[in-house]
Structure 1
Amino acid sequence: MRDRHNPSTTRELVIAVFETNGRLVETGNELVRHIGLTTALWQVLGALGYSPVPLAVAHIARNMGLTRQAVQRVVDLLVERGFVCLQPNPHHQRAKLVVLTPAGRAALDAAEAAEAPINRAIFDRLGAERIAVAIAVLREMNEVLAQTSDTPTVDAVMKKPRKDKS
């Protein structure tokens, strides 16, 4: 039997996610400032660094739950700084592929090194099992949100090929 719906319980979860997001952004900015990054720049570098293939701006935006315009602004800054370059996309003439440069890989590696102590502290406090549950809960929340809007989740995008229209 399912629990009875209590709006304040869901609201508390949403507020905790908002608070965590704010702290992630603030902490991320502090961690990578010395590398010349912000959390937004790091987020896009990470999307590229963990993808098995180069991505177009629209794919990065969908995967990260961001607008194409916001990602395009970040990509433009990353190009300016030499962290990424744009390459032709064989699947779409106008939507260039965003590719990490060696400088971008080095910046991402430096960001990961800066975050390692915090990652370890989180892991030590929560443990692998609770982290796995948290990931599952957040992914399921994303699925519910995607079902109530036109924004697909990363999992849905990865399961079903989409045409890039950027």
Structure 2
Amino acid sequence: MSDPQQLLSESALTTFRLNGQFLAVAEALAAPAGLTATRWQVLGAVLSEPLSVSDIAREMGITRQSVQRTADLLARQGLVTYRDNPAHRRAKLVEVTEAGLTAVRLINPGHRDLARRLGELIDDTAWAAALSGLQQLSDALEQLDHT
């Protein structure tokens, strides 16, 4: 298949299907920690460093409003906290709490098991190549957004 329009259509359809599959898996993995896929996604975004709601939204490709609602829920659960942002007075930073880290750690055994099971079905080299292709496609779409 070398027709760019056909490649675009097939890529989009496959990505939509894959997204649905990942969401279903994420819901199942997050459940033992008392989380949803969306809450896990937002928590995951701030594991390495606190970020503003806008930064999380950009990183995850979701709306700022959705991230704000989710971050507020996580804050009420004590899984994240808001702290002052030295770069912007009004845009607080979302920071994971120890309880948030504990929740994510509860997900890790299921996550590790799923990765192992997938690794038994997909050759590591093919999996890495697929990931590289997805990253290139995402980068190309990002470039188109800015032109």
- TM-score exceeds 0.5: yes
Match of 1:93 among 89, 92, 95: 89
Alignment of 1:44-83 (within 5 A): 44-49=42-47, 51=48, 53-83=49-79
Partner letter of residue 27 of structure 1?
A: V
Q: Which residue of 1 aligns with 2:22?
A: 24
Moved more, 117-126 or 85-94: 117-126
Alignment of 1:107-118 (within 5 A): 107-118=103-114
State whether structure 2 residue 101 is matched by structure 1 residue 105. Answer: yes
- Mark the runs of 5 or more structure 2 residues left unpaired by the alignment: none
Q: Which residue of 1 aligns with 2:129?
A: 133
Match of 1:142 among 126, 138, 142: 138
Whose RCO is larger (CA < 8 A, sep 6+)? 1
Q: Say how many residue pairs are matched.
A: 146
TM-score (ref. length: structure 1): 0.81
Q: CA deviation at 1:5?
A: 2.1
Instruction: Give the percent of matched residue pairs that are identical in Structure 1 and Structure 2.
Output: 36
CA displacement 1:66-108 (0-9 Å, x = unmatched): 1111111110110011100011111110111111101100111
Distance in 2 between the 1:95 and 1:32 partners?
28
TM-score (ref. length: structure 2): 0.90
Partner letter of residue 104 of structure 1?
A: G
- Mark the runs of 5 or more structure 1 residues left unpaired by the alignment: 151-166
User: Which structure: greater helix fraction?
Assistant: 2
Partner letter of residue 5 of structure 1?
A: D
CA displacement 1:4-24 (0-9 Å, x = unmatched): 425333322221111111011
Q: Which residue of 1 aligns with 2:6?
A: 8
RMSD over aligned Cα atoms? 1.6
